[in-house]
Structure 1
């Protein structure tokens, strides 16, 4: 049973790493579940400090994942229309079956939102859309770093208790 839980936990952590780039999968959350599954094994004693701290990090990262693209739009001169366009574009981009819709959606949404705000200023709209894209990249990088830290933590715990697990 421990081997099955170990494999399941490892698969969750790996899927979480891929999920850090694919908005359809909540990467840090899946990686955290992989860590939690590791502690369900008989070989690894429960460490509520590690689980609690990593859960808190996961919650903060999940909230920031929705805030950062909108903040990127605002930082690059976007209005509230651009911010709403970014958020709506993200949802539409995830739900549409086009390749890379999760990247194209916020960009187009911010651009269209800014054009609704000021239809004559195309440069401002493009700048806000670039800010949305930069925010998406920053958010994805942040999630990737956290998921890689969870992978490292998972492997360190497995290494520490390798004699009991294997």
Structure 2
């Protein structure tokens, strides 16, 4: 039974990391599900108020890192709020419209299209903003990956 529990927990954590590349997957929920599975199979005793406080702070950090990385990437390359929104929509829609490549093309095209339509930018400026969006998205993946890894390492530290 212990093997089954740890297998489920590991699968949940792996799916959480897949959510870094496919933002439609709610990574935080899969990490929390791993904690809950541990509690159900073993015990919730290790999860005191300090554990949950630290994990909630990491969740806030995850959401903040996602938004800030995208915003900095777009703003640094001359983008506007429209570019940020376009990039965000592209991140969510891209993988469904263009499987596999959509994860990279989505935020880029979303920012470019938003800048072209809303602010009537020329194509060169819009592409520059799209590039910034792509850089923001990729830096967000790395940042969130580190935060998620720390969440899981802290969990393992508490339960082992």
TM-score, reference length from structure 1? 0.78
Change (3 A) 1:26 1:43: closer
Structure 1: gaps spanning 5 or more residues: 161-166
- The CA deviation string for residues 74-101 of structure 1, in whole angstroms up to 9 with x for no partner, is 2210123322321232232143252231
CA contact (8 A) 1:2 1:43 kept: no
Larger deviation, residues 12-21 vs 121-130:
12-21
TM-score (norm 2): 0.80
Aligned length: 158
1:111-122 map, 5 Å:
111-116=112-117, 117-119=119-121, 121-122=122-123
Q: Does 1:139 align with 2:124?
A: no
Check whether the contact 2:70–2:140 (CA below 8 A) recurs between aligned residues: yes
SS in structure 1 opposite 2:108?
helix
User: What SS class does the counterpart of residue 142 from structure 1 fall into?
Assistant: helix
Q: Is the counterpart of residue 29 in structure 1 residue 29 in structure 2?
A: yes
User: CA offset at residue 43 of structure 1?
Assistant: 8.3
1:32-90 CA-to-partner distances (Å, cap 9, x unmatched) read: 32134323323853323112321232144135424532442122101233223212322
RMSD across aligned C-alpha pairs, in angstroms?
2.5
Matched residue, 2:84: 83
* 2:10 aligned with 1:10: yes
Is 1:73 matched up with 2:77?
Answer: no
Q: 1:75 to 1:66 in 2, by over 3 A?
A: same
Q: Where does residue 42 of structure 1 map in the other structure?
A: 43
Write the mapping of 1:47-62 to structure 2, written as runs, cut at 5 A: 47-62=48-63
- Structure 2's unaligned 5+ residue stretches are none
Aligned to 2:96: 95
Helix, strand or coil at the partner of 1:20? helix
